[in-house]
Structure formats: C-alpha cells, structure tokens
Amino acid sequence: MSKSTLKMLAAFGYEVPTIDRGYAGQTLYVNVGSGTITAKPVTEDMKTKFIGGRGFDLWLLWHGVKDGTKWNDPENEVVISSGPCGGTTQYPGSGKSIAAAISPLTDVVIDSNAGGHFGPYLKFAGWDAIEVQGKAERDVVVYINGPGGQVQLWEVPEDCPTDTHVLGHWLLEQFADDEQDKQQLAFVTAGTGSEHTLMGCLNFSLYDRKRQDLRYKQAGRGGIGTVFRHKKIKALVVKGFPVKGNLNHPADLERIVRVGADMQREVATWDPVQNRMRSRGTSYLVQIMDDYDLLPVMNYKFGSHPETPKINGDIWEARYTQGLPDGCWYGCTVACAHAVDNWKVRTGPYKGSCVIVDGPEYETIAGVGSNCGIFEPWAILEMNFYCDTYGIDTISFGTGMAFAMECYEAGILDPEKTCGLELNFGNAEAALEVLHQMGRGEGFGLIFGLGIRKMKTYFIEHFGADPQFVNDIGMEAKGLEYSEYLTKESLAQQGGYGLTNKGPQHDEAWLIFMDQVNNELPTFEDKAEALHYFPMWRTWFGLCGFCKLPWNDVVDPKNKLSSEPQKIMHHVENYRQIFIGVTGQEITYDDIITQSERVYNLQRVFNIRLGHGLRDHDAIPYRSAGPVIEEEYHSREERYDQQLREWLNLDPAAMTVAEKMAAHRQYREDRYEGLIDAVYKRRGWTNNGVPTPEKLQALGIDYPEVVEVVKRHL
C-alpha cells in the first residue's frame, strides 16, 4: 500500500497546552460540513460540575443540538472525551474514551465507552474532548496532529476503505512516518455496516506493540457509528506524544503510584485464583451465568443450555493467544482485551484472510451465541470479526438476531420475507448472511439493521405480526437492544435495565447477584437505594476515564469482611485517591455520587428535552419480567408454581397454564410499577420521572435552559 493523495479541506493551527492536573483546558470543535475548526475553553464550571468524559460529552452535545434535533440532522454531534484520570498508566483500566450522540435507535442521548488509545492521546494532544458536527459532502478524515500542533480536515479518495480492519492499515500508511509513529497514532472508525443500519458502532484502535499490529475496542451501543458514517466521516485520527507515566501532570503522582502498585499486586495475587480475567477475559461469565440460569438462550426464553460448555471460558482460554499483556490501555493488568490471532475468515468478502479477532467477550458470546441458539465457536468468532469490521454493535446484532429467529420460528417470518434465509435458532450460516447483507446494504439485512423497535413495527405493518407478541418478546427498551443477562427473577435488574437513561445496558446497574442470588435487596426501598447508588457510582467511571472491571472483577478477599462488601469500598477508596492525585481536588465518597448525579440528571433532562425520558419511556418488554409463552413457563414450572403459592396464595394445581401465566404477569407488571415509584422517589424525580427543579438546584445544575425543560412537565 502506498500513500494516497488526500485533499485538505481545512486546517487549524494550535499551540499544544501543558496538561494540568488531568485537563488540557480546551475542547476541539470540528464541523465536517462547513470546515469550521475551533477551540473552546474548558471552564471551571464545566470541570466542577461535569468532571469530563461523559459529563463533557453531554454538556457539549446539549449546547450543540436543538430541541427537535434528530440523529440524522447535521447539528447532531459525535462527542468523545476521556476524562481527567484518563491516560493514567499506574492504575488498571484508566484509559477509557466515552462517546455520545443522539442515537438513531433511541432518538435520545446515547453514551458508550471503549478502550483503545484515542481518548488519552486526544487529551495529550491538547484536547479534553472532540465534538464533531455537520455533514460532509464526501468522505473525510479528521486528523489531530499533536506534535505538529495542527487539526486538519481531509477529503479522502474513493479508494479509501471503509471496513475497519482494512481502513486501519490504510490510515497507518497515510499518517505514520515510521514505526514509532504507529504507536502514537489512534483512530476512531466505523464500517460499511454503519452505513446501512442504525446499529453502527465505533471502533477505537490501539497499536499493540507486542503483536505489532492494530487492535480495536468498540463503543458499541446505540448506533454512534451510524451517526459517524452519516456525517461521511471515515476516521478520526490523532497523533499523540510518546506515552509516559506523567503526561496528565497529576497533582500528586506519589499518591497515584501508592494505590497503583497496591492494585497491581492485588491483581497479580488474586486474579489467578478468582475470575482469571488475565487468561479468559469476560468469557468466564458464560458458565457462571448458565449455572445460575441467567444466560440468555434463544431470545431470553431460557437461562441455560446443555451445550453451553462448548462456548464457555475454558474454550476461549484455549483460543485466545496467551501470555500477552492484553490491556486496552497501558497498565491494565486485568487485561481482559484478549484476541484470537490468525483467524482464517470463512465467509463473506474477507474469506480466506487471516485476521485478529478482538474478543470475543462475554456480551458477544452470549449475544450472537447462546441467545441465538448458536454454540459453535467458529461462528461466534466469525460474527465477532465481521460485526467489528463492518462497524456493527455485537449486542444489538445478537439480541436483534435472537428476536428475528424467534419471529421466524413463530411463523411471522418465512424464507420469502427473509430473502430465502431459514432463520431458525442455531442457524449460524443464515445469521452470518444477514450480517453480510448489512455490510452490503441489501436484502433482509436492511430491515434487520433498523433494530428491534423498528423491526417490530415493520413486522406488524407488513407481515401481520401480533403486536402484543412482538412487543412482549422484542427485547428492547427505549429502542436499544438488551445486553445479555436474563432478568426474569431479578426485579432490581429489571429496573437496572429499564430505569436507565440510555436504554438497557448493564454498565449502569448490575444487581442480579445482590438481588436474586444473595437476596440482599428484599424491599422496594432496598432495591431503589441500590438503583440510586450503583448507577451513580458506575456513571462516575465514565466521567473520569476509568473502566469498571478492575473495581469488581478482581477483589482481595478481605473485602468480604467489610461492612458493605458489594460496594468494594477499598477499591472505591483507590479511585478516590487517584482522582485526588490527578486533579488535586479533595473529594469524599458522597462527592463522587453527587458528581455523577449532576451528569445523570442532566442526561435525564436531555432525554425529556428530546421528547422522551418520562415514565412511559421506562417501560420494559414483558419477557424481561416473566414468561411470555407456555414453553417458557414449562421450562421453570416448578419455580413459577411455587411462586404462585408463596407470593399470591394461589393453587396452581387448580389453574391452567394460561391462567397461571396471567396471574404471574399481573403480579410482575404491578411489581415493576411499584419499583418505578420507589426509584423515582429516591432519585428525586416526580412520579412521571422528571427531575424536580429542587433536585436540579440542589445539584447546582439549575441552569435556566435546563429548568425550562422540566417545568413543562411538572
């Protein structure tokens, strides 16, 4: 490959600021339509109220769009920020990038995080966030050259590839002058699937020095890749400075080193005898979820399957290349970002190529695997690779495919409607062909690529599907496909998915074990407290640039002796220390929650501003709460019958299955409404889910334009 001729559309020179206590002090605005490139100052108010990362994303997006902005309006933005602690090398999982946009799937704000080098490199190149607006006429690349002090907008030639694994190498060729440069470059890309579907993801690159090749981590959720390609952006490219351990210029590096060294030793000591993330990554969860009847199988009908051992962690441990430091940012020894090297692609346009498959991780294995009744590792690898390079979210694809397969088996779809594909559960070849259709933009892939919510409407309008049936089994909320956990027996996790801002994604709350397995949340109030604390705590990772996994996927057993072991306070203390060490700002545990509440409530108000975000929009499909079809009831009949006796004082022996299911439904739906009441109250929202002006004032985010939005709904 040789250098292509790129046409410069705009350029902006800047002096790279000294990073001060985790902040560059400015954000970058690029309009790919008009060619406008400017710097915006980061105010003290922004730092105090919104911290960085997702907080900065939301604040910039809030000011960038209008009340009626849709995902495909030019004023919609893709915003990416890491956060003040992002780029710290001394603590595992401190290099996250958080992306946000108005989502084509949900029509509200989506935030999604990824590893890779882009966020930290962007900051070290002088920018706390990048905000991309407008729509280019032809494909463009935004190039942020830190060492050169230039931001450039380039039009790329027609031979510039789109699919990520090819585009990445093309970008290296264009922008790297030598081997050292390769290490300093990081890209954000999407793929051809992002052009033809609403579930496009963003790929965040990292140059793997051991493999001497590019790897990618995905900000998968909510279709940000679709927005990206709609704007005709091929890539965001940043050239950073050589990474060192103090590029954040933290206030107190000694403090960071102290907790960092302790944590590295904790990982070294306990990971080998706990989850073995360093050898299995998140794939260890597959068997555990199956054992607890929580693994989604066949569109969440079932929670386990006899063939799960074919795709569990042991299988992936044997497939992942072992012995490499697979962190997605420097210093992450939890190292869950494993890969299968030299995978010979079996299908599609890249058949015969040898590629690196980044993953598969738990969500992908469960999503495109068990949830679709597919228990063949080769098929999971193939779908993982193609989803990534096409720029398609594996979770939305997997959950969407599970829905389509159930619709096929229920007779809603047939080969005539699927362009000849027999989409039975377990048909990996058919699922892969849908994926390739999404890449090509043709056939059933186009309908499928709309996501479950729009598929449901399409099936009702065009195929005569029973609305209640597809609404019950279509596992989406707010328009976003569920991530991969079965929630029927955990009311708290039904709320953990339903009462989110962005839609059902487990990064906000994962309470199944506390609730269902350990029974630590017996009352509505207990669940509401957990649905306040944990979403706020987990939000905070995304404000600072942290990954959640080192918080609770490897833990010194002494934690069990603490007063609140589920909070893992000795790790919370580590994070508090790092935040103080980087920013110099003393904070308490309560401050952490308050910092998150500001951002969380702003996001809620943002959703309301965009015409959603109220109680109606927190509804969940019934399958996430209980059995929709008799086959499901029978699969857990003993448990369900016992619940009828214990919860409702009914005699199941005197009832038909239909009557028993109806009784369950009434009870479970009422219970979810009761949970909503309790959670809204705890969060300081009205019974319609609106943050009150008093709450906004207490948080210090009672800006006139914010209060104006909620006033319309009081």
Partner 1 sequence: MKVLTFNPQRCDGTRACEVTCAETWFKVTDVAKSSIRIQPKEAGFGAQFCIQCGQCIDVCPTNALFQDKQGIVRVRKQLCVGCLSCVGFCPYGVMYFDTAQTLVFKCIACGQCVKACPTQALEIIETDNVSTDLWERKSR
Binding interface with partner 1 (CB under 8 A): 89-90, 209-210, 242-246, 253-254, 257, 260-261, 263-268, 323-325, 327, 330-331, 333
Crossing angle between the packed helical segments 657-683 and 637-648, to the nearest 10 degrees: 60
Query: For partner 1, which is the closer residue by CB, 265 or 711?
Result: 265
Distances (CA, A) of 620 to 525, 615, 626: 20, 11, 11
Tokens matching residue 569: 């306070």
Query: DSSP alpha helices (H): ranges in 185-301?
Result: 192-196, 224-230, 253-270, 277-280, 285-291
Query: For partner 1, which is the closer residue by CB, 323 or 464?
Result: 323
Whole-number minimum distance, CB 278 to partner 1, in Å? 10
Q: Which residues contact 326 (CB under 8 A, 6 or more apart)?
A: 278, 281, 320, 335, 336, 337, 338, 339
Query: For partner 1, which is the closer residue by CB, 263 or 701?
Result: 263
Query: For partner 1, which is the closer residue by CB, 40 or 255?
Result: 255
- The reply to whether omega before 74 is within 30° of 0 (cis) is no
**What totals of helices (H) and strands (E) does the chain contain, helices first?**
29, 17
Whole-number minimum distance, CB 257 to partner 1, in Å? 6
Whole-number minimum distance, CB 238 to partner 1, in Å? 17
Query: For partner 1, which is the closer residue by CB, 245 or 674?
Result: 245
Q: Which residues contact 374 (CB under 8 A, 6 or more apart)?
A: 368, 380, 425, 426, 427, 428, 431
Whole-number minimum distance, CB 245 to partner 1, in Å? 2
Query: For partner 1, which is the closer residue by CB, 18 or 519?
Result: 18
Give the Cα separation of 515 and 499 in Å (integer).
16
Whole-number minimum distance, CB 555 to partner 1, in Å? 15
Query: For partner 1, which is the closer residue by CB, 257 or 657?
Result: 257
CB 492 within 8 A of CB 515: yes
- Strand pairing report for 339-344 and 109-114: unpaired
Query: For partner 1, which is the closer residue by CB, 270 or 667?
Result: 270
Query: For partner 1, which is the closer residue by CB, 268 or 658?
Result: 268
Burial letters 489-507, b for 16+ CB under 10 A, else e: bbbbbbbbbbbbbbbbbbb
Phi, psi of 150 (to 5 degrees): -135, 140
Whole-number minimum distance, CB 120 to partner 1, in Å? 11
CB 248 within 8 A of CB 85: yes
Whole-number minimum distance, CB 546 to partner 1, in Å? 15
In angstroms and rounded to an integer, the radius of gyration of the C-alpha atoms of the chain is: 24
Whole-number minimum distance, CB 218 to partner 1, in Å? 20
Phi, psi of 486 (to 5 degrees): -85, 130
∠ Cα 62 65 66 (to 5°) = 105
Query: For partner 1, which is the closer residue by CB, 323 or 352?
Result: 323
- Please, is 241 exposed, middle or buried when counting C-beta atoms within 10 Å of its C-beta (0-12, 13-18, 19+)? middle
- Strand pairing report for 185-189 and 202-208: antiparallel
Give the Cα separation of 326 and 321 in Å (integer).
9
Query: For partner 1, which is the closer residue by CB, 120 or 348?
Result: 120
Query: For partner 1, which is the closer residue by CB, 272 or 467?
Result: 272
Quick check: helix, strand or coil at residue 298? coil
Query: For partner 1, which is the closer residue by CB, 177 or 590?
Result: 177
Whole-number minimum distance, CB 329 to partner 1, in Å? 9
Whole-number minimum distance, CB 578 to partner 1, in Å? 12
Whole-number minimum distance, CB 267 to partner 1, in Å? 7
Whole-number minimum distance, CB 420 to partner 1, in Å? 47
Quick check: helix, strand or coil at residue 323? coil
Distances (CA, A) of 428 to 425, 553, 600: 8, 31, 39
Secondary structure, 3-state, 519-540:
CCCCCHHHHHHHHHHHHHHHHH
Whole-number minimum distance, CB 171 to partner 1, in Å? 21
